[in-house]
Structure 1
Amino acid sequence: MFAILIGVAIGIGLPIQTSVNSRLRRAVGTPFLASLISFTIGTLFLAGTTLIVDHHLLFSPQLFQTQPAWLWIGGIFGVLYLTANILLFPKLGSVQTVILPVFGQILMGLLIDNYGWFHAKVSPLTPIRLVGALLVLVGVITTVAVGAWFLTRKTYDRTTVPGNGLWPWRLLGVLVGMLSAAQSAINGHLGKVLASSLNAAFVSFLVGTLALLLLNLGLRSPLQLRHPQGQTNPWWMWLGGIIGALYVLGNVYLVPVVGTGLTVVIVLVGLMTGSLLIDHFGWLGSPRNPITPVQILGLIIMITGVALIHLA
């Protein structure tokens, strides 16, 4: 039960982080520079916390020789997921940008658990687990797509790219969702190798920060701090990295305990819950969109799916 509460909590933090980083992006001008700042703050937060708790940041260089190469790329997968979502949104619209990566996350989570990829805890894919995963996906679709339709009486998926031209972008959405689930499994095993969830989260964030630094240097992103529409920049726009750090830390802790598949779906429930709360109350400057009965039904369906996977 404690693991489920942690998963839901870090899932709720994700849409809050998105809102915070969106405000940071308005202040610095580019999404990639905002991501770099967010990752850098998260890395510094995890470095300080790790030093306080574990009293060290370094580990034996022999691990690079004795451990598989994929152990160190979790942070890169996180950057790819973040960047791809920035690219997908204008192509696919908000609904598909949410649903397709979710499908990829659930699919990859079940595959990792079933085959024990990335040295993950093996949990065979039983019919009950499969039904639970499908219920989670149906709940996401109900909450996002059907809920949006009831709010606006029209689809959000209006794009300028006709016909089959969207399919490569859709496949990319599923792929980056699979990379996100793989990141959770990789970081979970890294935590076991380093014997520290904190140290593993720090390494993952450090790798992501270095990747984003190279990306920004290549793009020559200008360093600037603006005041959009003459507004004062709020202090909380710098907290996205800390929220992201807690999310990665929570995943590192959860994966060895409950498995990648269940971790993914628990976090998804928290993510949808947090998104609805932000919309309903208009937190962090977001426009208010009251929760509808259909969206509540979607959450109930997701929770039912999580229960089936957990009990299987």
Structure 2
Amino acid sequence: MADTDTVRRRKPEPKTASQETASASEDSEVEEIIRPGFPPHSDSQNGGKKKKAPKRQIEDEDESNPWLLDILRVISFLFLASCGLSYLISNGETFFWGMSHPPNYLQLEWWKSQLRGPIYLTPTELAAFDGTDPSKPIYLAINHTIYDVSANRRTYGPGGSYNVFAGVDASRAYVTGCFAEDRTPDMRGVEEMFLPLDDPAVDNKYWSPEELKDLKRKEMEEALKKVNDGLKHWVNFFGKSKKYRFVGYVKRDKDWLKKEPVPKLCEAAGRGRTPRSPPEDGKKEH
């Protein structure tokens, strides 16, 4: 029985506090032996603090640097807001402000012109902005108002289909269609293209002198209105354009028209005139 008791393992008795301290000291010494060259662990080396778990350490770093996350949030918000604003202003054209024709308030030259006000150019000075010099903008004028059409240099620059309008006020040509001949703002006589030709044989046959005079007065009123409407169309075209920018005005003498001969109606515009037609109501002959 004694041998059996010796072989049988007994349950270890609980260690006292002094025994646990001694055991921990022995474990430390064993660790130093097993891991030579490594300094023994000591709370004093870490400022008396225990090493934190990695997860807890990351959480502490996030809590100690909240401004990094705030900056990322602000940048993300501004980026999304910029994309949305670009989409709205460009009417769905782009999210990144790459508009073909940005509104005036997004153009530096527009702000410069607002600060300095309109410019005033003589016809000779205006001619220098016909696109020949690539370092200068391209200007054209209509009804004495100057616009910058540099955004469409291919059309208004040298060799372009509408280069005849660059560097000049060619208001007359916009109505008559005679681009080469009518590069002038003088609108006198343009109404003729909307007036019927006199035909005494027909006129005296259907109208008395007083009736014919009254008829011609009405025809002149209608012709002048057509000239005004035709010019107004192009004035509004440039004035309301998002592509072309208002620059200023053409400077001329007040009595400049008196110094110029009345232009003749160009041949192309004159070809559209026809003799006055008899009345449609079957009026009796005189």
Which category describes the TM-score, using the shorter chain as reference length? Answer: under 0.3
Higher strand share: 2
Higher helix share: 1
Q: Structure 1 length normalisation: TM-score?
A: 0.23
Name which structure has the greater RCO, CA cutoff 8 Å, separation 6+: 1
Q: Structure 2 length normalisation: TM-score?
A: 0.24
